[in-house]
Each structure stands twice: as structure tokens, then as C-alpha cells.
Chain A
């Protein structure tokens, strides 16, 4: 284990903390939509801006954790600068705290998703630059083959984070240009950069826990990232259909969005083919939870992001569903369903690398994951119904938005109920994680010396036991064969 890996713990812990926080404010906003007279301590506009920003920042923080953790491991050495990992942590977390704080106080720039004040956006850009710089330097000196798929996809993913964020540091006059720039972050960060990073870290994780063999998935990872680069970038067009650009974007967006099924298919196919499920029972508790979260992520990747996105991206359909709650259903299924669950899986894995989760917490973790999944499904179901009816009443029949809102309120209530369940799951999971980590909290933030002896010994004993069990199984087979031979010979 490298020191760089330990330094990533604090990123993972902070991501979990923000994830827990998000649910509370979100439910407040959802309630305001069903009880129009309700007045919350936080105004709806501030609350929504907070919600959107936190929904971009916590998965980002979690991805940073995973990148430092697995890049160092996969490159077989320490990161080029460990100091820079710490500096970047305080820079990024400081920025996030200030962004969220100022948004709650009502300071914002009035552009959706990019509401944060300008200096904080600059700080965010610097964070992505520091990350990429550290990765580049590490990559150059890595004692492993430079074509290793996991390293390449993490590195290119991180570099493109910068490329897509920087255009948003400038001020544009025309609202159409604003929209063009906004989706460089809202679409390309997610469906290109984080997708590349996600594939890289996921492959590294699966290799480490022995669920797949490196040589078997190396090509699959490359195939996947090639398809992502091919389809994902021009698919940004599905956000440009109606923003005041020429009509050829309908073709670009439509065609390349349809191609986005390619990477999803490769992902599904190679997971089903290469991940051996029969070994699930042999995994440690932590790895079982991790796999449960990864499984959830894969499920939403195919249905929430891939399938639903595919239908919505077809221009004649998009013409009607664009700007309705159907988009919101997809946004939650895709952003939380895919990257939320993936980041939770990665952070969980990282945080319990040296700490042991006790049996009771372990069981509660499953309940929390159940609540998250069912909450998300109910939420998305409610939003899809609300969106479908909104489309019909408002876009097709031509009722006013006020009348439409009154008619769809029951489904928005269903969404809020699902949100409540989700929030309970998220608070529960965050509580369990923080509670289990708490005795060693100083270690997670400051220390590079090993954990207190007993803790580390426990981990080592657990690993040894796992090894014994594995060996015993092999021995059992050998013994059985010998026995059969003996029987035959007799």
C-alpha cells in the first residue's frame, strides 16, 4: 500500500459526508413543489442551486479519491507529489464549502449548474489542473507499460475535465452561447470525462478484488473508451437541439446519441462475460457491499442513462419531452444512478481498506442500499408520470403551466416520498460509514503512519484467513481427486 493511497481517504470521507447532506435540502425543495404555500428557511432558488452544485461536486470529490487511490496502485508507485494531493484536497474542499455556503446565502450568478461565483469556478478549474499535473508526472515515470488501459483512461478523463470546464470561466453575451458552454460541463464532464475515469477505476477495482483478470478486460476497456470518445462527444448535440443553433445539430445529436448504446453494450457484455459471480460468496463483507453498489450502478447505466436517454434523444420525441419532469427523471437516474452509486462503491472500498466493518453495520449497510435503490426508483417513477402528464396537458392539450402543475401534484408527491426514502438511506449509510471510521478519524486526515497496531493486525488476519479459505478449497479438490483415484485403484 502506498502513502498516496492513504492520502485519498479524506476525499472519500468528504464525498460521503456531502452525499448525506444532499438528501436533506433536496427533500425540502421537493416538498415546496407540492405545497406551494410552504415557506422554507432556504428559498427555493437558493436550495435548487445548492442541490445542483452539490450533485456535481460530491461525485467529483469521490472520483478524485478513486483516481489517486487507483492511479498510484496501477502505476506501481507513489504519486509524483504527495504534498499536492493534500494541497488539492484543501483547495477543493474549501471551494466546495464556500460555494455551498454562498449559494445558501443567495449569492449566485444565475446560470443553471454554474451558479457559483466566479472566483470559486476558477478554483475548481485549478483543482482539475493540479490533479492532471500530478497524474501526468506520475505516468511519465511509471515502471509499468505505458499502454495500460486503466492508466490511460483515468489520465485522459482527467485532462478532458480541464478542457470542458475552462470555457465556462468566460462571460458570454448571447444566451445561446451560454447554453453551449454550460453543456460542456453538464454533458461532457459526465458522459465523457467521468465515464472514462469511471471505466478506468472500475476495471482497476475489479482486478484488485480478483473478479476479473487484467489481460481479459484490457481490450474491453479500450473498446469502451474508443466508443465513448466516438459517440459521447458529438452526442452533446442532444442538448443543443432547441437553443438557437442551426438545425444540423438535430442530426449530429440524434445520430451520435443513438451510437451511445455502443459503450453501454460493451460494458454490459464484458461485465457479464468476465466478472465471475460464483465467487461472490467468497468475497469479504466490504467487497460484497462494493459489488452491490457497482451492480446498482451498472443497472442504472443500462436502463436510466442508456435506454431512457436513447429514447429522449430522438429529436421528434425530444421536441415534446424537452424541459419537462421526464428530463428530471433521467437526470436523477443517470447522475445518481450511474455515478452516485459508482462513487459510493469506490469510496466505500477505499474507506474500508484498512478499517474493518463490523457484522452489525454490515447488515445495516444492505438496508441503506435497499432504501437508496427503492427511493430512487419511486422518485424516478413519480417524475416519469409527472413528466408524461405535464407533456400531455401542457404541450399537447395546451393547458397553462399553472393548471398543469395542479394536475401533476400527486405524482410530485410520490417523488417527494421516494426522495424521503432515499434521504433515509443516504443518511443511514453516511452515518454507518462515519461511525465506523470515527475511532481513527485523525488517521484518515493527517497521518501517513500505519493504523494503530490492533486495527492493522485485524486487517492482516482477515486477509490471511481469506487466503486460507481459498487454499483450503483448492486442497479440498486435490484431496477429493486423490480419494477418487484410491477408490478406482481398489
Chain B
């Protein structure tokens, strides 16, 4: 049993080292673009308003509102600005509107979405969705 225990500990350690090593090499140096002050503030708006509970970012989050990773690229600044300042009704609803943001928040949030749009997600989401820009 001593041998099996040692094998377990060795496998565990090697896996952990390989895993954290791979993470380190994915983020170390300048692999991740740094964010401007405005983009960072936009991220805080995104967090404060809990957008992630209804929307996904990089595909992770809530599933009811769709993905926002490429929202900036798909919809453009003008459309988004109007969407947040004068939100439409949620599809299928007679009275409930999408949450709205103040003009200041809108600018910050759009800066953040622009930043997210620039992250290289190795071709995700699939192309068809990118074509649907209005």
C-alpha cells in the first residue's frame, strides 16, 4: 500500500505542477492585454449590475440573455448606447423592460464591452452568430 500511496502523491503533485505551470504560461508577461482606467470602471459597472446572472461572458454565466463577448462587434456602439439608455421590452413581455443604465454608466460599460470584444477567444462564438449584426 505504501507504493500505491506514493504513486498517488506523485501523480497528484505532477498534475498540479503541470496545471499551474500551464496557467502561468497563459497569463505571464504581456499575454493578457492590460486595461485602461475606463475599461476597468466599466467592468465594475458590469459587476455591480450583476449582468453575469442573465448573460454569459466567454460563454460562462446565465443563459437567459445571451452572450456578450462579441456584443460590441456585433451591435456597434450606437445600438448599445440606445439599448442601455432606452431599453426595449424583453421579448414576450408586455411590461417588463431590460434594465437601464445612466449615461455615465453606459459609456463606461461600452468601453468595457469594447475591451472584451478585443480578447482573442480562438474563434468563439461560431461565425453565424457574428453575421447577425444589425
Measured CB to CB, the residues of A under 8 A from B are 33, 36-37, 39, 44-46, 48-49, 108-112, 115, 145, 147, 149, 152, 156, 163, 173-177, 179-180, 182, 218-219, 222, 225-226, 229-230, 233-234, 236-237, 239, 241-250, 252, 319-320, 322-325, 327-328, 390, 394-406, 409
Query: In the complex the two chains form, is A233's CB within 8 Å of B15's CB?
Result: yes
Tell me the minimal C-beta distance from A200 to chain B in angstroms.
12
Q: Which residues of A contact B48 (CB under 8 A)?
A: 110
User: How far is A328 from B124 in the complex, measured between Cα atoms in Å?
Assistant: 19
User: How far is A244 from B124 in the complex, measured between Cα atoms in Å?
Assistant: 10
Beyond A145-B1, A180-B27, A241-B122, whether A405 also contacts B92 by CB under 8 A is yes
8 tightest Cβ-Cβ pairs between the two chains A and B: A110-B47, A401-B66, A323-B59, A402-B91, A242-B124, A36-B93, A147-B1, A45-B50
Q: Which residues of A contact B47 (CB under 8 A)?
A: 109-111
Query: In the complex the two chains form, is B32's CB within 8 Å of A322's CB?
Result: no
Residue interface bits B34-70, CB-to-A below 8 A is 1, else 0:
1100001001001111111110111111111111010
Beyond A229-B12, A398-B128, A405-B91, whether A44 also contacts B18 by CB under 8 A is no
Q: Which residues of A contact B59 (CB under 8 A)?
A: 242-243, 322-323
Q: Which of B57, B60, B66, B92 has a CB less than 8 Å from the CB of A394?
A: B66
The 27 sampled A-B contact pairs (Cβ below 8 Å) are A36-B92, A37-B95, A45-B53, A48-B53, A110-B49, A112-B52, A147-B5, A156-B8, A173-B35, A174-B34, A174-B35, A175-B57, A175-B58, A176-B32, A176-B119, A180-B26, A229-B11, A234-B22, A237-B22, A245-B27, A320-B126, A323-B61, A323-B125, A394-B66, A395-B126, A406-B92, A409-B92
The chain A residue sitting closest to B18, CB to CB, is A234
Q: Which of A48, A110, A230, A395 has a CB less than 8 Å from the CB of B46?
A: A110
- Residue B116 at the A interface, CB < 8 A? yes
The chain B residue sitting closest to A232, CB to CB, is B15
The chain A residue sitting closest to B123, CB to CB, is A319
User: How far is A486 from B38 in the complex, measured between Cα atoms in Å?
Assistant: 96
Q: Which of A44, A225, A230, A250 has a CB less than 8 Å from the CB of B54?
A: A44
- Residue B102 at the A interface, CB < 8 A? no
Q: Which residues of B contact A48 (CB under 8 A)?
A: 53-54, 62
Query: In the complex the two chains form, is A226's CB within 8 Å of B8's CB?
Result: yes
Query: In the complex the two chains form, is B32's CB within 8 Å of A177's CB?
Result: yes
Tell me the minimal C-beta distance from B69 to chain A in angstroms.
8
Tell me the minimal C-beta distance from A485 to chain B in angstroms.
43
Most B Cβ at <10 Å: residue of A174, A237, A239: A174
Tell me the minimal C-beta distance from A214 to chain B in angstroms.
12
Q: Which residues of B contact A401 (CB under 8 A)?
A: 65-66
A-B contacts besides A45-B50, A219-B4, 10 pairs, CB < 8 Å: A112-B61, A173-B40, A177-B27, A243-B60, A246-B31, A320-B126, A323-B59, A397-B128, A398-B129, A398-B132
Query: In the complex the two chains form, is B121's CB within 8 Å of A325's CB?
Result: no
Tell me the minimal C-beta distance from B21 to chain A in angstroms.
11
Q: Which residues of A contact B40 (CB under 8 A)?
A: 173
Residue interface bits B95-134, CB-to-A below 8 A is 1, else 0:
1100000000000000000001001111111101101100
The chain B residue sitting closest to A391, CB to CB, is B126
Beyond A37-B95, A225-B8, A230-B11, whether A247 also contacts B122 by CB under 8 A is yes
The chain B residue sitting closest to A396, CB to CB, is B128
Query: In the complex the two chains form, is B4's CB within 8 Å of A173's CB?
Result: no
User: How far is A33 from B54 in the complex, measured between Cα atoms in Å?
Assistant: 10
Residue interface bits B61-89, CB-to-A below 8 A is 1, else 0:
11111110100000000000000000000
Beyond A49-B53, A108-B50, A177-B32, whether A319 also contacts B91 by CB under 8 A is no
Query: In the complex the two chains form, is B128's CB within 8 Å of A243's CB?
Result: no
Query: In the complex the two chains form, is B63's CB within 8 Å of A328's CB?
Result: yes
Query: In the complex the two chains form, is A395's CB within 8 Å of B93's CB?
Result: no
Q: Which residues of A contact B46 (CB under 8 A)?
A: 110
Tell me the minimal C-beta distance from B117 to chain A in angstroms.
11
Q: Which residues of A contact B94 (CB under 8 A)?
A: 37
Q: Which residues of A contact B90 (CB under 8 A)?
A: 36, 402
Query: In the complex the two chains form, is B129's CB within 8 Å of A394's CB?
Result: yes
Beyond A230-B15, A398-B129, A401-B65, whether A36 also contacts B91 by CB under 8 A is yes
Beyond A110-B50, A147-B2, A234-B18, whether A244 also contacts B119 by CB under 8 A is yes
Q: Which of B33, B62, B65, B129 has a CB less than 8 Å from the CB of A395?
A: B129
Q: Which residues of B contact A390 (CB under 8 A)?
A: 63
User: How far is A246 from B26 in the complex, measured between Cα atoms in Å?
Assistant: 6
Q: Which residues of A contact B15 (CB under 8 A)?
A: 229-230, 233-234
The chain B residue sitting closest to A148, CB to CB, is B1
Query: In the complex the two chains form, is A249's CB within 8 Å of B50's CB?
Result: no
User: How far is A177 from B27 in the complex, measured between Cα atoms in Å?
Assistant: 8
Tell me the minimal C-beta distance from A3 to chain B in angstroms.
29
The chain B residue sitting closest to A243, CB to CB, is B58
Beyond A229-B8, A322-B124, whether A112 also contacts B1 by CB under 8 A is no
Query: In the complex the two chains form, is A325's CB within 8 Å of B63's CB?
Result: yes
Q: Which of A44, A323, A400 has a CB less than 8 Å from the CB of B56?
A: A323
User: How far is A36 from B61 in the complex, measured between Cα atoms in Å?
Assistant: 19
